[in-house]
Structure 1
């Protein structure tokens, strides 16, 4: 047992009967007791909640029907525990859940901000799962799911809690986890297991679920086009839906214009795409008459619904942004590895202190990484291109992969546009990574690094070494940011410092 773990439980609810089952399970569970259980009633109207009357630690507060993000914020801000354990009101916890939770939290270092549970979704064994059931089963593989997730209260306060612009139980948990990782913290998977029964959401639930595309627009605005990759999710189907919806609209438009042959062609293409989409959804299901009917109808309605909600979200969140970068670019020598003049021997590659841990932190947060490096030794004839390639390969072997390498092999007098302090390599790195250059940060050790970044429109952080000129440091304090070491530079960059 871990009696020293101080935790509160926060449960947002809309008054489902499953809340009673959950509270009874918590009341009788073995292990260290929570400081309090806060149930956040997120219904706009007053009504009695199905509470366990014999549980003295349950406190009920109201959040006014503003969604689960606002409800969780109201709960943790009132809670007093060091850890805040969020539970959904429809999960089923184990009889020793408090014991397993505190075991997961015991011994976590200060840079570990949260612990997630393993979520199990029991599916029927006598038939194939329905579309609704398969949707719930996706929770079992979600990277960050607040159905059962414990956060340090101090970290929630540091990052501002959940973003209440997410009005549904969708993306608000991934957004919070992204901001926590960008603040320099880790999120770990615990050993506890919590059951989430498959939900029944009604015949057109998959069409209603397309409202989440508006939330996807907010995620893209905040974290760039690679946001799905950053949260560990497969590419979406918006492109398919947009094409299908466009074909359907074209068929209707040309039909109204009485251009029947063109309208028929568009209709045939729309039918083919819709049929293929429906078949993919029908195949893994029970294939009953009702299920097939729902899949066919909803497969025709999903593409226009998805496009409408995405467009609505893009308009609504057009001004949303985030100061955290989408990509970090690094100078190589004396920033990532110890500088050896005109290095051509891979065996002499030595990482700078803190470089490996800093890069690991960035990769956890899903930030794109690149290197921009002047290597005039090639132009001077002091190293060969083969030696340069071997050294760079050794850098990746020791520090992990980088998504772009921009290397200038020219000399001072060659008149190229890539050699720092010129901006060419920074601009090309941003283009290769598919991010706006203004969302890039370049970390380096010289004034040339700072000038290349600022001229390109990126942000710059200078990490001075013994070779950095005093005037470069003085100028960087006015035009950029100066950090003590690479670890501080990365944390400043992830926090969006300017």
Structure 2
């Protein structure tokens, strides 16, 4: 009988009281418990202690992500995990009593091409009355695909594509984007048998207005995945065209009124009123029709169309430079002992010697249209053993030997300087990506030591370790991907070999 694979549960949170209920339901569940539960505190600054049960064991660990949103929080979680599978759950769900057992069953014996397994979500609606507009909106989670209320991914797949895109700052579309990129990279997503309950929690008067901010994220999805992204992501079409018509007629009425064109203004007002009334009626009819709900629907039905259009325009402006997603667009190499033989603190171009197969590997990438960069620690500058001019001369010789490099980044500091650019810091990778017009998750970093892999992980890039004689065994064991040589590493980048 096949043993169930190990898994880690990752829970992003801002400290909602429901977190305690979630952890208690997990601990009380039957079946194999997770190897670790990583609670990612995404509050901008440390606050009151998180509402964890007193019985939370040693397997529960709290991390911080600095208030950068749920995508960044989930990245913080899975990058700290060490198991084959990572299961993301929201902090406001309750796990079924058999959730651990069913999770283990869902993840056991899967073919290698399965990259993720979705659980099912149950949203209980009130008995004895019709659901409110907000409760119906929450009930839509039960029909959604790939939502991270309960979604498991192979950790190697997340590392392969760089995890969640942190440009999605809200809990909206970041899970759909991840799923599309996972499938584009050649993996399947399947449904499992486990279940969570997602209560429809009370919401304020303006809740439906606040969610219109997601229209900006729809623009990022469009830029990255093309016009057909809604069909691929199984996302509804929504009412944006009607919102645009209502907003346009309202603005036309104001403009005509100010210009003194009263008949045109009247016609535009009638059209605006008809569209707004239809929208309000469509929201009121299936609801409880209480005075409070009707008032909320009338007021927000006036406000939602211009809010949706405003956020859509903001998204178009904010993401105007976003480019279609590709599995890898840039490959960033460590220099010494990866592309050229390591000569400690070398400032002499005559001593540059290419590593075996380096020119052929780089030429293959160039032929496939990938950009090439180098990110290199050069602490000899800080130690006074070489100057920055020496580094540039050696780099110029590297290009003469190995061909053109699109971007160079080197850190002249030493460990004691405390900079962000020196690997394992992420700044060189982030700067190289920015200069090439991509995001770090579209980059692959190839290097020979653990610092290179740690820098890739910190930046949100994919890392591939090519060990040499100076690579420590623990660094090899810890690396998400290991290739025996540069040619094999390029095989992985080009999708010609996936397994470790």
Q: TM-score range, shorter-chain basis?
A: 0.5 to 0.7
For residues 251 and 154 of structure 2, the distance between their equivalents in structure 1, rounded to whole angstroms, comes to 50
| CA–CA distance in structure 2, aligned partners of residues 193 and 168 of structure 1 | 24
Give the deviation of 1:241 after TM superposition: 0.8
Partners of 2:9 and 2:87 within 8 A in 1: yes
Q: What does residue 123 of structure 1 align with?
A: 125
**Displacement of 1:12:** 0.3
The 5 Å alignment of 1:137-176 reads 137-176=139-178
Cα distance in structure 2, aligned partners of 1:323 and 1:174: 13
Q: Deviations over 1:345-383 (max 9, x none)?
A: xxxxxxxxxxxxxxxxxxxxxxxxxxxxxxxxxxxxxxx
Give the aligned partner of residue 17 of structure 1.
17
Shift in Å, 1:131: 0.7
Q: C-alpha distance in 2, partners of 1:265/1:87?
A: 50
Instruction: Find the aligned partners of 1:220 and 1:25 in 2 and give their Cα distance.
Output: 38
User: C-alpha deviations, 1:448-483, integer Å up to 9, x for none?
Assistant: xxxxxxxxxxxxxxxxxxxxxxxxxxxxxxxxxxxx
The question of whether the paired residues in 1 share the 8 Å contact of 2:3 and 2:108 is answered with no
Whether the aligned pair in 2 keeps the contact of 1:28 and 1:95 (CA below 8 Å) is: yes
* Residues 192-229 of structure 1: CA deviation (Å, up to 9, x unaligned): 11111112221111111110000000000011111111
Structure 1 residues 87, 323: closer, same or farther in 2, change over 3 A? Answer: closer
What is the alpha-carbon distance in structure 1 between the residues aligned to residue 53 and residue 218 of structure 2?
Answer: 37
Alignment of 1:235-384 (within 5 A): 235-324=237-326
* Residues matched between the structures, number: 330
Alignment RMSD: 1.8
Answer yes or no: is the 8 Å Cα contact 2:11–2:88 preserved in 1: yes
Q: Please state whether the residue corresponding to 1:151 is helix, strand or coil.
A: strand
| Contact 1:11–1:89, Cα closer than 8 Å, also in 2 | yes
CA–CA distance in 2 between the matches of 1:5 and 1:102?
7
Mapped partners of 2:211, 2:73: distance in 1? 20
Which residue pairs with 1:51 in the alignment? 52
- Is the 2:4–2:107 contact (alpha carbons within 8 Å) kept by the matching residues of 1? no
The TM-score, its normalising length taken from structure 1, stands at 0.64
Superposition pairs of residues 447-458 of structure 1, within 5 angstroms:
none
How far the C-alpha of 1:492 sits from its partner, in A, is 6.0
3-state SS of paired residue (2:94) = coil
Gaps of 5+ in 2: 328-490
Aligned twin of 1:8: 8
The separation in 2 between residues aligned to 1:140 and 1:243, in whole angstroms, is 30
What residue in structure 1 maps to residue 105 of structure 2?
Answer: 103
CA distance in 1, matches of 2:210, 2:318: 19
Residue 100 to residue 32, structure 1, CA distance change in 2 (3 Å): same
Q: Which deviations, in whole Å up to 9, do the C-alpha atoms of 1:141-165 show, x marking residues without a partner?
A: 0011110111000000001000000
What is the CA-CA distance between 1:2 and the residue it aligns to? 7.0
Q: 2: CA distance between counterparts of 1:311 and 1:262?
A: 26
Distance 2:283 2:86 in 1: 38
| Separation in structure 1 between the aligned mates of residue 291 and residue 297 of structure 2, nearest angstrom | 10
Answer yes or no: is the 8 Å Cα contact 2:70–2:169 preserved in 1: yes
Q: Which residue of 2 aligns with 1:189?
A: 191
Structure 1, gaps ≥5 residues long: 326-487
The yes-or-no answer on 1:209 pairing with 2:211 is: yes
Query: Aligned equivalents of 1:11 and 1:323: distance in 2?
Result: 27
Measured in 2, the distance between the counterparts of 1:199 and 1:258 equals 48
Structure 1: distance between partners of 2:324 and 2:30? 43
CA–CA separation in structure 1 for the residues paired with 2:2 and 2:187: 23
CA contact (8 A) 1:2 1:99 kept: no
Q: How has the CA–CA distance of structure 1 residues 308 and 172 changed in structure 2, closer, same or farther, with 3 Å as cutoff?
A: same
Rounded Cα–Cα distance in structure 2 between residues aligned with 1:154 and 1:89: 24
Give 1:258 shift: 2.5
1:401 — aligned with what? none
User: How big is each residue's C-alpha offset from its partner over 1:268-296, in whole Å with a ceiling of 9 and x where there is no partner?
Assistant: 11000000011011111111111111111
Q: Deviation string for 1:400-443 (max 9, x for gaps)?
A: xxxxxxxxxxxxxxxxxxxxxxxxxxxxxxxxxxxxxxxxxxxx
Match of 2:234 among 220, 232, 237: 232
- 1:5-84 equivalent positions in 2, closer than 5 A: 5-47=5-47, 48-55=49-56, 56-84=58-86
SS in 2 for 1:38: strand
Selected match of 1:113 from 112, 115, 120: 115
